[in-house]
A = this chain, B = another copy of it.
Amino acid sequence: MRNVSQSTVRRLSVYVRVLEDLERRGGETVSSRGLADRAGTTSAQVRKDLSYFGSFGKRGLGYSVPELLKSLRAILGLDRAWGVAVVGAGRIGQALARYPDFADKGFDVRAVFDNDPQKIGQRWDDLEVLDVGDLPQVFRERQIEIVILATGAESAQSVANQVVACGVRAILNFAPVKLQVPAGVGLNNVNMVPELESLSFALTNPQATARGVSGASQEPS
C-alpha cells in the first residue's frame, strides 16, 4: 500500500459511514455501485479506492457489508479507541469536547486543558478543565495520542510545540494559523473562514461554479 491519496482516505471514511448505515438496516451485501450512490461518488472510484488496500469483493456479487466494514475500520485504524485531548476550553473547545459523535467513533476525549484560572476546574459532564501546566503528566497518564487544538491563534504554535514534545503525533487544529510541526506529525486544519469565502466566491462568480451536484446519481443507469 503505497502513496494513498488524501481524497481516497476521506472517501474511505464516507464508505465506513455508509456501511454502518447498511449494517444497521440489515444489509448483507452491497455492490460498488450501491456504495457509490450512497457515498456520492462512482462505482469505479469505489473499486479503485479499495484496490489500493486489497481485494474485498466477490465477482458477480459485491461486497459483504460486515466484512468490508471490518476491513475498512482496520485500514483507517478505527478498530480501536484513541486517546484525545482538547486544548483550549473556549466556545469551540467546549463544543468539541462535548460532541458525542467523537466518542461514538472511538475518539475518546479524555482531557480538556486551559490556561485561564477562571476556566480551570469547571466541570463539563464527566470532564474537568485542567491546567495546561499539567499537560505532560496527564498526557502520559491518560495515553493521549491525538490533540484537538482550540486555543486562540496566538498560543497555537506554542501549544503545538508542547504537545509534540509530549510525543503526540496527530493534531487537529482549529486556530487560523499555519502550524509548523516536525515531519512525522500528522496535522489537519479546520478553517471556517475559507469555507465561507469559497461560498462568497461561488455567489460572486456563478459562471465559474458550474458544478452540477445535488440529488441525481453520478452515473448512467
Measured as residues with beta carbon below 8 angstroms from the partner, the interface class of chain A is 35 or more
Do A77 and B193 contact each other (CB < 8 Å), given the known contacts A182-B214, A213-B183? no
At the interface with chain B, which of A25-33, A43-51, A100-108?
Answer: A100-108
A193–B98 CB distance below 8 A: no
Sorted nearest first, the 8 A-B pairs with minimum C-beta distance are: A77-B204, A186-B202, A91-B95, A13-B194, A77-B200, A170-B199, A92-B95, A13-B197
* A24 part of interface (Cβ distance < 8 Å): no
* A22 part of interface (Cβ distance < 8 Å): no
Query: How many Å lie between the Cα of A196 and that of B14 in the bound state?
Result: 13
On chain B, the residues within 8 Å of A188 by CB distance are: 195, 198-199
Query: How many Å lie between the Cα of A13 and that of B193 in the bound state?
Result: 8
On chain B, the residues within 8 Å of A203 by CB distance are: 77, 82, 145-146, 169-170, 186
**Chain A interface (Cβ within 8 Å of chain B)?**
1-4, 6, 9-10, 12-14, 16-17, 39-40, 75-78, 82, 84, 90-92, 94-96, 98-99, 101-102, 105, 107, 145-146, 169-172, 176, 178, 180-188, 190, 192-210, 212-215
On chain B, the residues within 8 Å of A183 by CB distance are: 212-214
On chain B, the residues within 8 Å of A176 by CB distance are: 17, 101
B185–A77 CB distance below 8 A: no
A75–B199 CB distance below 8 A: no
| CB contact between A95 and one of B2, B94, B145, B215 (< 8 Å): that residue | B94
B95–A200 CB distance below 8 A: no
| Most B CB within 10 A of own CB, among A176, A185, A201 | A201
A98–B91 CB distance below 8 A: yes
Query: How many Å lie between the Cα of A78 and that of B202 in the bound state?
Result: 12
On chain B, the residues within 8 Å of A9 by CB distance are: 197-198, 201
A82–B200 CB distance below 8 A: yes
Query: How many Å lie between the Cα of A98 and that of B91 in the bound state?
Result: 9
Do A178 and B146 contact each other (CB < 8 Å), given the known contacts A92-B95, A203-B169, A208-B4? no
On chain B, the residues within 8 Å of A96 by CB distance are: 192
Which residue of chain B has its CB nearest to the CB of A213? B183
